Structure 1
Amino acid sequence: MTEQIKVGDQVRDFTLKDQDGNDVTLSSLRGKKVLLSFHPLAWTPICRDQMKALDDLYDRFVAKGVEPLGLSVDPIPSKKAWADSMGIRSLKLLSDFWPHGAVADSLGLFIEKHGFSGRANVLVDEEGRVQWVKVYELKTLPDFEEVLNLL
């Protein structure tokens, strides 16, 4: 496992597909902040609540110049069915499926023994550097108001 990313580190560029199969490339979002919100697995209650909350707050993040993204190791068809089942309106749910957990691992957030990422929020600045990072206990729902208050 890679050492966990910290404030000031450059985030390695990546391209992942969202729930609709569209490519999302981190470097294409330069000039705005990006919130990478990692959740372990789709179809679990806390992950559902985390992504629903982020979708509900999507417009508030965008108003502050932040593009929020949800990430997990789930494959695209699962992400699509899950997003549809939750009524996700705006949030892009990215699939870090293959190579399995590579983006999470590059940030030191992949939990090898479980085969999924930890639960974490990583705020990336306009230049692609970590501005803020918080890793949560797996059973803890992240507080997005905490993130919004930082902005």
Structure 2
Amino acid sequence: MEEINRIAGGNMAPDFTLSDNRKRPIHLADYWGKKVLLSWHPLAWTNVCAEQMKSLEAHLADFSRLNTVALGMSIDSVPSKNQWAKQLLIAETMLLSDFWPHGGVARTYGLFRDVEGYSERANVLIDESGKVTWVKVYPVPELPDIDEVLAHCAE
């Protein structure tokens, strides 16, 4: 993947509709007026990804206070994400499936890892008008610091 294609701060966020773990269609543009955190994780059923998604769920009140909707994003299928959410006791956070076309939204955002076939571990923060304000890509084994994420949401 060439980094030149990666979404960057100041860009308008490409709109999309994906199904969440409960099979509900989630349309990004429906959330304009709120900040949206796209929290990308490579694969469900892995330890760091589980901790990343559980941290979103654990901080729902903080995200709400900051007028932010946190969305868990990966290339896993809806049934897989549904079972995973149940196992992790994630009841409120929406876990979106970018399964088909495989990684289509991740590709649009320049966050798809072609060699491995999954997304980067990344956070993309979008403001109330649909503009990207912060992008951070992490080494795949690294858990994003939720305090850093919340600090950017508070800006």
Q: Identify the match of residue 148 of structure 2 among 138, 146, 149.
A: 146
Q: Which residue of 1 aligns with 2:95?
A: 93
State TM-score, norm by structure 2. 0.95
Letter in 1 for 2:26: V
Distance 2:77 2:103 in 1: 11
Consecutive unaligned residues in structure 2, runs of 5 or more:
none
- Residue type of the partner of 1:76? V
Q: Distance in 1 between the 2:61 and 2:114 partners?
A: 34
Partner deviation per Cα, 1:51-106 (whole Å, 9 max, x = no partner): 00111011111111000000000000000000000000210000000011011111
Counterpart residue number, 1:129: 131
Secondary structure of the residue aligned to 1:52 is helix
Choose from 58, 61, 67 the match for 1:59: 61
Moved over 2 A (4+): none
Q: Can you give the 5+ residue segments of structure 1 that lack an aligned partner in the other structure?
A: none
Q: Give me the identity figure in percent.
A: 49
Q: How does 1:45-124 map to 2 (within 5 A)?
A: 45-124=47-126
Aligned length: 151
The two structures, once aligned, show a CA RMSD in angstroms of 0.9
TM-score (normalizing by structure 1): 0.98
